[in-house]
Amino acid sequence: MANINFGGVWEDITTLEEFPLAKAKEVLQNETIAVIGYGIQGRGQALNMRDNGFQVIVGEGDYNWQNAIADGFVPGETLFAPVEAARRGTIVQYLLSDAQQKEMWPEMKTCLHKGDALYFSHGFSIVYKEQTGVIPPPDIDVILVAPKGSGRTVRTNFLDGSGINSSYGVFQDATGRAMERTLAVGIAIGSGYLFPTTFDKEVYSDLTGERGVLMGCLAGVMEAQYNVLRKNNHSPSEAFNETVEELTQSLIRLVAENGMDWMYANCSTTAQRGALDWKDRFRDAVSPVFEDLYKSVLTGQETKIVLDAGNSSDYRERLQKELEAIRDSEMWQAGSAVRSLRPERRKKE
């Protein structure tokens, strides 16, 4: 492990230098990795591990069965029903949705053998066991590798050679090999680097982040600014460009390249001064919302909402309507038009 200074706090991280792919293959040479759930996260991790030369099988139902076949998994050889794949695996990657994990657990736990590893990419089911009922048997390893991005990004970053950062943790070490198995799978799925966490910290930070800056807050503040600009007679094109396009196509790339100060330093003096003057006002305004959000995560209220929604028979239909409402709003219809005018899009036409 490498000891790295993160803003004055030293943390141990693991990269390919400390744990090369060859070492991961050695650790996992006798393992069959069963990916249960071929959704966005399952697909990304399964394909990356297969491309890296690991023995991977997939457990999937009707929903993504054809997608797995299209990606080269063969029924009866590398593609099975979830329960059958779990029985065949020695490392069982439980990558169903959180609600589905709860629903399938009574069957899934009967498929685990002594010495197996039960793998998660989210601490949800283990941490909120009172609500999910997911309590692993004591004779298996229970491990976690949580990529810091969607499964789509797990795959695209792997293909472009950059990898995606992941946290990792061990909840239960029954074999004495749990940590090396965890790190090996973390490297196998294509992590850029791995940093330690616990199941608790992973789920608390993840649920807060998704509802906050990464998705909920981001969508909300974009809508707020767009609506104010439109209310004051700015065109949809102008409102969208000043709210979304400039952020995603210019400024956030500067932040990713070298930090927020670097982005500020590469903007006009007028932009710098205004941003610095208003930054703290926005921080202070939203801090109480984040405090409420974290409390809701910590108490399990957010978990209850997720499980109740996921257990509803018409959830997929209701979700689709909610997503369509976003897509069909003026703001994101404007976004569709703006994206169609990007030079790279027009060259393809």
Mind listing the pLDDT tens digit for each residue in 303-329? 999 998 877 888 889 999 999 999 999
Residue 26: give its domain's CATH number: 3.40.50.720
Q: Is 206 contained in some domain?
A: no
One domain, residues 34 and 143: yes
One domain, residues 220 and 88: no
One domain, residues 303 and 218: yes
Q: Is 262 contained in some domain?
A: yes
- What residues make up the domain containing 172? 2-197
One domain, residues 138 and 240: no
Give the pLDDT of residue 228: 97
One domain, residues 173 and 235: no
Confidence of residue 251 (pLDDT cuts 50, 70, 90): very high
One domain, residues 186 and 287: no
Average pLDDT over residues 199-225: 96
Give the pLDDT of residue 185: 97
Give the pLDDT of residue 57: 98
Confidence of residue 221 (pLDDT cuts 50, 70, 90): very high
Active site residues: 122
pTM: 0.89
One domain, residues 221 and 79: no
Q: What is the pLDDT of residues 106-159, one digit of tens each?
A: 999 999 999 999 999 999 999 999 999 999 999 999 999 999 988 999 999 999
Count: domains in the chain = 2
One domain, residues 124 and 239: no
Q: Is 205 contained in some domain?
A: no
Answer whether 149's CB lies under 8 Å from 157's CB.
Answer: yes
Among 197, 231, 249, the domain-final residue is 197
One domain, residues 74 and 179: yes
Separation of alpha carbons 266 and 254, rounded Å: 8
Give the pLDDT of residue 343: 79
User: What amino acid is encoded at 204 in this protein?
Assistant: Y
Q: Is 204 contained in some domain?
A: no
Nearest to 212, CA basis, from 202, 203, 221, 223: 221
Q: Is the pLDDT of residue 349 over 60?
A: no
Q: Is the pLDDT of residue 300 over 90?
A: yes
